[in-house]
Structure 1
Amino acid sequence: NEAHSPIPVLYLDISQFRRVNSTLGYELGDYLLKTMAERLKAFVGSRNSVVRLGDDEFAIILGTMGAELSEVEDIQPAIARVAQNLLWAISQPFTVQDRTVFLTGCLGIAVYPKDGSDIDTLIRHADIAMHEAKSQGNSQFKLYHPITKITSDQLALEADLRYALKRSEFQVYYQPQINLKTKAITGAEALLRWRHPQRGMISPAEFIPLAESTGLIVPIGAWVLQTACQQAKLWQAEGFDNLQIAVNLSAHQFGQPKLCEAITRTLQRTGLNPALLDLELTESALVQDVDSAILTLKQLRSLSIRVSVDDFGTGYSSLSYLQRFPFNTLKIDRTFVKSISQDAKNGAITTAIIQMAHQLQLQVIAEGVETQAELDFLSQHGCDLAQGYLFSPPVSAEAFTELLHRQALNFSK
C-alpha cells in the first residue's frame, strides 16, 4: 500500500460461543464457525481477507476500501456503516442439523496507517477496541483510539491472570457459617483471593468478572473446588466431621459439559463425603437454559451434593422459580439483611423470604450480617444460619482452623 490509503482491520469476537459448544457439542460448534467464516468471506468479497484467529475470533482486512476512504475527509461514518452491516449479517440465523442458531458478536476496528504500520500492531489495537465494544453489550463496535491507562491496566491484569494459577498466586479463604440456634460453626464458604506479586491482594470484584469474560473462571473454579474439598477433608481428620463446605459455581462452570463427572472425580480424589459439599449458584446462572439447569441440579442432588441459590432476591426470584429448581438452601442477599431492624420494608421482605423458604422445605442462610441488631432480628424470625463480619471476615485455612478449635474449647467448658 504505497499510497498509504486507509485500510480498516476488524477484530470480530463471537459472543458467548462457549454456550453453543456446550449445547451442540464441539464438532458442530466447529462446523458452525466454518460456516461463519464462509459468510464473512461472502460479505467482504474475494479481494479482502478473513482470518480465523482463535476459537471464536476472526480478523477481517478490508484492503479494497483504501481507495474509497482516501477520497473522504471523515472516514469514520463509512467504516461505521460497514461494521453495522457486518454485525447484521452475522446475526442472521444459521441452520445446523435442522436446528436454528442465532449468533451475535462485537467488533473492534483499527485503521492503517493511523493506528499502526504493521499487521500485528493493527490486530492488537483492533483487539483492544473489541474488548471496549464488548463492555457495552452485544452487537457493538468500537474504533480504536489511543490506549488509555485504564485499558492498559486491564490488559496487564488479564495477562497476569492467565499465569496466576500456574504461579500459585491464588488462595482460598473461608468464612464461617453459624447455626443461629446452637451458635456453632457448621459450615464454611470458600472464597477465592488473588495475591498479586506486585499489586498485593486484588479485590475479587476486580478480577472475577475478568476471569468470567475470558473463560479462565473454569480452570480457576476447578482449582478452588479441589482446594476446598481437600481442606474440608483435613478438618475432618482433626475431628470436625460434619462441617459443610460451600463452593461457588459460576455460570460458565455450571454450563460446562460433564460437570457432574468432573465434580465426582474431585470428590473421589479428595475423599470428601459428597453430602458435605454445598454448591452455590446465582439465579442468573440458572435461567440461561432452565431445562438443562434442572437436569444438572437433579444429577447433583442424586449424588447427595447440596445446592444453594446465592444472592436470592437480586435477580429473577419468584415462587415458581423456587418450586421448579431442586435446591436445598436459599441465601438471602446482603441488600435485604442490612438495616432490617430499622427498615420495616426490608424486615417484612426478609421475614417473608424465610417463611416461604421453610414452607418449601429449604434451609435459609443470611449473608452479610454485620450488626447485633441484624443477628437478633434474624434469630427471632427463624433464620437457620448466618455469615458475615459480625462473626468473622473470610480468613485463611490456618486462621479458620483456629476458629474451629477455639469454638471446640468454648463448648467443652
Structure 2
Amino acid sequence: MNHIPAENCKSCRIEDAEHGLTRKEFFFVYQPKLRLQEARLSGFECLLRWKHPSRGILMPASFINIVEDSPLTERFTDYIVTEAAEILANWTLRGYDTLSMAINLPAREIGRPEFAAQLAKLFDTRSIDSHRLQIELTETTNPGSIDALVTAIDALKASGFSVAIDDFGAGCWSLSLLHRLGVDTLKLDRKFMKDIQENSKSKVVVETLIQLAQRLGKQVVIEGVETEAQFAWLRTIAHVDCQGYYISAPIVGEQIDQLVAKHGLLH
C-alpha cells in the first residue's frame, strides 16, 4: 500500500476527515500478536488507515492531530468501536470465535458518560463476548484526571472488556500509577528492543519491566520485534506476547486466514 508521510499531508483539514468518515474512507489493517512460547496467535491490533481519494493510503500521523480535541473525536471513537464489533462478529462467523482484537482510543474518550455501557450494548446486540476486545490507551496522550481514568477503566472491566497501556515507557504515565490503574496489559514501547542485542543494559531494563508487570498480574506485549535474534531471546521469557515486522507487517482482512493457518490460535 502507498503510505504517504505525514509531512506531505499538511493540507489535510478537519473537513476532509469529516467527509472521509461519511464516505467510509477509513479502514483497519491488522498487526498480529504472537504468544511466544506457544508460537500461536493471541490476537490482532487494529490500526486505522485513511484511503484518501487523492493522496493514497494515509497513516494516523497524517490525520490524528486534526481529529484529537476536535468535535470529530467522538465520531471517530464511535466509528472505531462499531467497526471493531462488526469485524469480531465476522470472525465468529468464520469460526474464529476465540480470536481477540485491540483498538486504540484516547484515554479521555473512555471517560465519556455511559461509554462503557454503550460499548457493552453494542457487543450484546451482536452476541459478541466482550472479553475479546482490548482497548489500548496511548501513554503519550495526556490522560487528564487520573481519578476519572480509574473510574472509566473500572467501568470497562466490569463490562468484561480488557484495557492496556500502549507504548509504556515512552510518555507521561509513571510506574507509580500502575497500582491505581486496573489495566490488564502493558505494551512496552518499541524503543526498548532497538539495541537489545548490543546493549546488555537494555536487556536488563526489559527483563525488569516484564517481571514487574507480571508480578502485578499484568500481561506483557513487546512491540518492535524486528529480528530473529530479538525473537529468539524473547522466546525464553514465559507468557509474553510480541508484535513486529519479524512476525508480520500489518495485513488486510483477507490475509487473516493465512496467518491463522500458519500459527494457529491461542485458546
Which TM-score applies when normalising by structure 1? 0.59
Q: Indicate conservation of the 8 Å contact 1:174/1:189, yes or no.
A: yes
Could you tell me which residue of structure 2 aligns to residue 346 of structure 1? 202
How far apart are residue 405 of structure 1 and its match? 3.3
**Which is greater in Rg?**
1
CA distance in 1, matches of 2:18, 2:194: 36
Could you tell me which residue of structure 1 aligns to residue 60 of structure 2? 204
Asked if residue 162 in structure 1 is aligned to residue 162 in structure 2, the reply is no
What CA deviation, in whole Å up to 9, does each residue of 1:99-150 have, x standing for no partner? xxxxxxxxxxxxxxxxxxxxxxxxxxxxxxxxxxxxxxxxxxxxxxxxxxx9
Which residue of 275, 278, 281 corresponds with 2:137?
A: 281
Asked if residue 258 in structure 1 is aligned to residue 114 in structure 2, the reply is yes
CA distance in 2, matches of 1:304, 1:374: 33
Q: Indicate conservation of the 8 Å contact 1:281/1:308, yes or no.
A: yes
Q: Indicate conservation of the 8 Å contact 1:276/1:305, yes or no.
A: yes
Could you tell me which residue of structure 2 aligns to residue 195 of structure 1? 51
Larger relative contact order (CA 8 Å, sep ≥ 6): 2
Against the structure 1 CA distance between its residues 291 and 263, is the aligned structure 2 distance closer, same or farther, given a 3 Å change threshold? same
How far apart are residue 286 of structure 1 and its match? 6.8
Q: Indicate conservation of the 8 Å contact 2:48/2:59, yes or no.
A: no
Asked if residue 381 in structure 1 is aligned to residue 241 in structure 2, the reply is no
What amino acid maps onto 2:185 in structure 1?
Answer: T
Could you tell me which residue of structure 1 aligns to residue 87 of structure 2? 231
CA distance in 2, matches of 1:292, 1:253: 11
Structure 1: gaps of 5 or more residues: 1-149
What amino acid maps onto 1:257 in structure 2?
Answer: P
What amino acid maps onto 1:302 in structure 2?
Answer: A
Q: Indicate conservation of the 8 Å contact 1:180/1:383, yes or no.
A: yes
Which residue of 333, 350, 359 corresponds with 2:189?
A: 333
Matches within 5 A, 1:289-308: 289-308=145-164
What CA deviation, in whole Å up to 9, does each residue of 1:83-106 have, x standing for no partner? xxxxxxxxxxxxxxxxxxxxxxxx
CA distance in 1, matches of 2:193, 2:232: 12
Query: What is the SS of the residue equivalent to 2:49?
Result: strand
Percent sequence identity is 32
How far apart are residue 252 of structure 1 and its match? 4.2
Which residue of 367, 384, 391 corresponds with 2:247?
A: 391
Q: Indicate conservation of the 8 Å contact 1:254/1:285, yes or no.
A: no
Query: What is the SS of the residue equivalent to 1:296?
Result: helix
Matches within 5 A, 1:1-400: 154-285=10-141, 287-382=143-238, 384-400=240-256
CA distance in 1, matches of 2:16, 2:174: 40
Q: Indicate conservation of the 8 Å contact 2:32/2:43, yes or no.
A: yes
Query: What is the SS of the residue equivalent to 2:260?
Result: helix
How far apart are residue 155 of structure 1 and its match? 4.7
CA distance in 1, matches of 2:218, 2:12: 43
How far apart are residue 306 of structure 1 and its match? 0.7
Query: What is the SS of the residue equivalent to 1:161?
Result: helix
CA distance in 2, matches of 1:310, 1:359: 19
- Higher helix fraction (1 or 2): 1
How far apart are residue 349 of structure 1 and its match? 1.0
**Runs of 4+ in structure 1 over 6 Å off:** none
What CA deviation, in whole Å up to 9, does each residue of 1:67-92 have, x standing for no partner? xxxxxxxxxxxxxxxxxxxxxxxxxx
Query: What is the SS of the residue equivalent to 1:165?
Result: helix
Q: Indicate conservation of the 8 Å contact 2:12/2:63, yes or no.
A: no
What CA deviation, in whole Å up to 9, does each residue of 1:172-228 have, x standing for no partner? 111111010111112011110101111111121111122114242321222122112
What amino acid maps onto 1:394 in structure 2?
Answer: P
What amino acid maps onto 2:199 in structure 1?
Answer: D
Q: Indicate conservation of the 8 Å contact 1:308/1:331, yes or no.
A: yes
Q: Indicate conservation of the 8 Å contact 1:334/1:366, yes or no.
A: yes
How far apart are residue 383 of structure 1 and its match? 5.4
